[in-house]
Amino acid sequence: MKRQELATGLQQPYTTSRGFGVEKVDKAGFENVWFVVPPPPPRRLEEHPDLKLLRHANLALQGRPRMASASELERTMAYLLIRREAVSSSRMEGTWSTVDEALSPVETDFGRSASISVRGYAHALLQAFHALGKDGLAALTPELLCTLHERFMQKDPHFRGVAGRLRAPGLPGDVVQIGSFGRKEDAIYNPAPPAHVKRCLDDVLVWMRDKSLADLGDAGMGLSLPIRMAVGHAHFEAVHPFSDGNGRVGRMLWSIQQAGAGILPLYLSAYVEANKDEYGAALAEAQKQLTYRRIIEFVCRAIVVSNEEESETQRVLQSLPAIWQARGAFRRDSAAHRALNLLVQMPIMTVKVLADELNVSGQAANEAMRRLEQAAVVKERSGRVRGRLFAAEEVISVLARSFASDPEIVLEGARRILGASA
């Protein structure tokens, strides 16, 4: 990163009175590298994004179910989509797992810490939502982010630092660069020096917690939620408070900001993964030039397209129990029939899990699973005699498909695996 790539204000040396600028770090090998001490996020914007696009994004978020009154069906869909989000967000950082593993019963151990890390990401999001439910946006503190970071990074196979710890001078991983694959001077961006991490993170979170800022924005007199999501994300990533895992925490904050606004979150990582180059360019422009139109419009498009994609995913998943009933002609109120809706929420399960969920005997659950397998609703995957795993392949194929791709194509493949004609 060259100093002249920065906005004029950011090019100036950091001083306490200014509160932002560039600074060097006292670390061998970084003598010629400038690091950016970012300002707090702005309370007003001089530039204006595409108003039609912003309106569509606002309408998409306003149409989301409310956290406090979401139906059982909406919560079931949220359960599935959190796991999909965990896979997509983690995959962008090189932690590879699958939707199958993220949805598997807890007692199933694939022996891969990547899988545990991804499940930890999903659990961390649920933990954040619980905290917000109790305390609102006041729960959004550095301590909460450290707890969430620890939850999923401590099992990440690529992480070598201390999970849940902010960067600080003299600690391992205290100095970080973004996109540094050769000379240190050629990095894409150099986030806040370690001495400024805690203060700069506080600035971002105070801004995110500001109820008056949110209320004005939601009333159409300031920064609406899509704008706050975009600007807050750019500033969080500019601080880069952890030695690794910042991208995942930053995308988690999108969900947290939506939950803080009282809505069931819309997950954006799959869209970001499919549009990584535009995301990177928009983020770099916001961080280096302190101009936000491009990142705001990117987030708005992510919201609009992800909302459409989620609606299609929900439509297809909700149609499956009726298709399965027609396929198996299960007796009404039988364990097999009662399992159909459950399989949408829990598409990978054991006989024991089915027995516990339906409150039936092991024998009844075993017979139900046999009938479901016979009707090509599930397929046994493990090949074991004990603790066998049964998968509703159609559900998994829809959740695991490439972003915005045609679900009918993957359903056709799943049905071939199951040996089902329709």
Reported confidence tier of residue 165, pLDDT bands at 50, 70, 90: very high
CB 410 within 8 A of CB 404: no
Reported confidence tier of residue 111, pLDDT bands at 50, 70, 90: very low
Rounded CA separation 303/227 (Å) = 11
Reported confidence tier of residue 108, pLDDT bands at 50, 70, 90: very low
The 8 Å CB, 24+ separation contacts for 277-280 are: 280/188
Question: What CATH number belongs to 329-418?
Answer: 1.10.10.10
Nearest to 378 by CA among 406, 362, 408, 354: 354
pLDDT for 386 equals: 78
Task: Judge whether residue 45 has pLDDT over 50.
Answer: yes
Question: What CATH number belongs to 3-308?
Answer: 1.10.3290.10
| Cβ-based burial of 127 (10 A; exposed 0-12, middle 13-18, buried ≥19) | middle
pLDDT for 113 equals: 64
Characterise 329 by phi-psi region: left (phi > 0), alpha (psi -120 to 50), beta (else): left
Mean pLDDT of the chain, nearest integer? 92
At 189, phi and psi to the nearest 5?
Answer: -155, 145
Mean pLDDT of 234-262: 96
Task: Judge whether residue 109 has pLDDT over 60.
Answer: no
Rounded CA separation 168/183 (Å) = 23
| pTM metric for this prediction | 0.93
Task: Judge whether residue 112 has pLDDT over 80.
Answer: no
The tens digit of pLDDT for each residue in 214-237 reads 999 999 999 999 999 999 999 999
The tens digit of pLDDT for each residue in 23-37 reads 999 999 999 999 999
Task: Judge whether residue 20 has pLDDT over 50.
Answer: yes
* 3-308 matches 329-418 in fold: no
pLDDT for 100 equals: 80
Could you give the percent of the chain with pLDDT greater than 70?
Answer: 98
DSSP string, 312-367: HHHHHHHHHHHHHHHHH-PPTTSHHHHHHHHHHH-SEE-HHHHHHHHT--HHHHHH
Reported confidence tier of residue 96, pLDDT bands at 50, 70, 90: low
CB 250 within 8 A of CB 243: no
CB 96 within 8 A of CB 110: no
Task: Judge whether residue 356 has pLDDT over 90.
Answer: yes
pLDDT for 402 equals: 92
The tens digit of pLDDT for each residue in 263-316 reads 999 999 999 999 999 999 999 999 999 999 999 999 999 999 999 999 999 999
User: Where in the chain are the domains?
Assistant: 3-308, 329-418
Instruction: State how far Cα 40 lies from the chain centre.
Output: 24
Nearest to 393 by CA among 331, 320, 311: 320
Lowest-confidence range among 108-112, 139-143, 186-190? 108-112
Task: Judge whether residue 363 has pLDDT over 60.
Answer: yes
Mean pLDDT of 144-165: 90
SS3 (DSSP) at 18: coil
Mean pLDDT of 244-251: 95
Rounded CA separation 87/83 (Å) = 6
The tens digit of pLDDT for each residue in 372-402 reads 999 999 999 887 777 789 999 999 999 999 9
SS3 (DSSP) at 417: helix
